[in-house]
Structure 1
Amino acid sequence: MVRLRAVGPALLLLLVTACSAGETADGTAGERAAEPWRPAPGLDWQWQLTGPLDLAVDVPVYDIDGFESDARDVAALHERDVRVICYINAGAWEDFRPDRDAFPAGLLGEGNGWEGERWLDIRQLEALRPLMAARFDLCRDKGFDAVEPDLLDGYLNETGFPLTADDQLAYNRMIAELAHERGLSVGLKNDLPQIPELVGDFDFAVNEECAEFGECAALTPFIEAGKAVFHVEYALDTEEFCATTTALGLSSMAKRLDLDAWRDPC
């Protein structure tokens, strides 16, 4: 064990200041690391959840699967100064995930239309808290900068549970709290009706198909707060939405529904 000799107050202050200003693993100053990353509007991004992971897309932000990706993928992106978002399903159980047996049967509702997935009873906060905490621990331990918790709008769907808007608010705020406790920023996925109430709890937004359904203006509270909105369309070509969404400040692109590596950005 190395022993440090006593130092005077001035030198001690210098040492403390130097440590706090030191660089973190992603090359940012220590003061910045004390707060979760908050992406600014207009950042270009890549979102890939299926297929061989293409790490070569020249964008400052990647959103990739938290289970399927590993720490080496995140580190490789960090070496290019790319921020990395961890996709985690927070609203549905998935029978293909390694933690599937940790979810009690009483939490599982109707299928959500995707093979192997069932809605979760988000009213059961105390049962879900440790399960989601473990998933966010996975993201943190792999070095991710942020999380994208999917399906934060169960109350708008036929889940098999009588979910209310208040149930969703309570659950979404718990999700944001769990992320922030781990030093991760967190995005609000869809749930457009509750944006005015949740914009202060989340660091950015992720949206699917707001242009197709004429809803993109609902995302402006995030832009006005200086927070990015990462947006995709599946059924529209870029010439059908880019002019509108770019003017609103959204980070938009066209993707295939399976979210493979292909992208057509605005």
Structure 2
Amino acid sequence: MNIITKQSQIFSVDLHQHTTASDGLESVKEVLEKNSKLGVDIISISDHDTFEGYLEAKELIKNYSLKIIPAVEITTLDYHILGYGIDAENFELNNVLNQNKLHRDLVLKNRVCTLQNSGLDITYEDVRDMFPTSVLSKGNLFEVLFKEQSVVTGYDRISLNLLLRSKQYDVDVKKASEEAAISAIHGAGGVAVMAHPFKEMSNMGKLESLMDFGLDGLEIQPNFGSANDKFFQYALKKDLIITYGSDYHGSRYNNRKLLGNKYKKKIDQRLLDLVNT
């Protein structure tokens, strides 16, 4: 088993992975087994707005030659914020997650109505039956609709995604603000890292605003190559924590493959200090 020390900072890591606790397609055990076979040193299970995947992994990981950093991916008004090294029992942070879960559920019910009005045969109960313990999202809807077929009632995944993205759902419970999410992560003893900034951040000035709220780091996703470059350089310039992750949701997604042990990097000691021992 790999030993984490201050003298040894070169590791293979994959700190952004999803399971069936949210919108991933594989169980916690399946994800752990794949990472173990790939020889990864340190992982995080960072499901959307829930600790359930991490908590299960924490119990199972003793059976594998893996280290784990506690994590969660928090959905905020405009971005996704990864929290690392957090206390999963923290009251404030769990309030933020519960607010987001309720928001997600209300939005999902509205999306089901949109699909029904477009002639698709689906109910909220269909989604919940297929994913009884998951924090539900659009990806879960797609799994119910498509199953083993690529087109349903004239829609493929791309056109259906465009349909759902064209709708704005004004539900009573809002997503957490970026400031609230970062504050809750810090209150739970963790560090706040912006997920996949190359997908979210077209205006670098907005990144400065997140830093004013206390953002600690930026995520690099090696599967997307040079798209990360300006954010990597920005993080170095600002002495931000740099994390590396695949955003793995299952083997079906070819552009989000597990990083494995071929991608070894010097990992920030501020991150290594958060590894569960």
Question: TM-score, normalized by length of structure 2?
Answer: 0.40
Higher relative contact order, chain-length normalized (CA < 8 Å, sep 6+): 2
Which structure: greater helix fraction? 2
Which structure has the bigger radius of gyration? 1
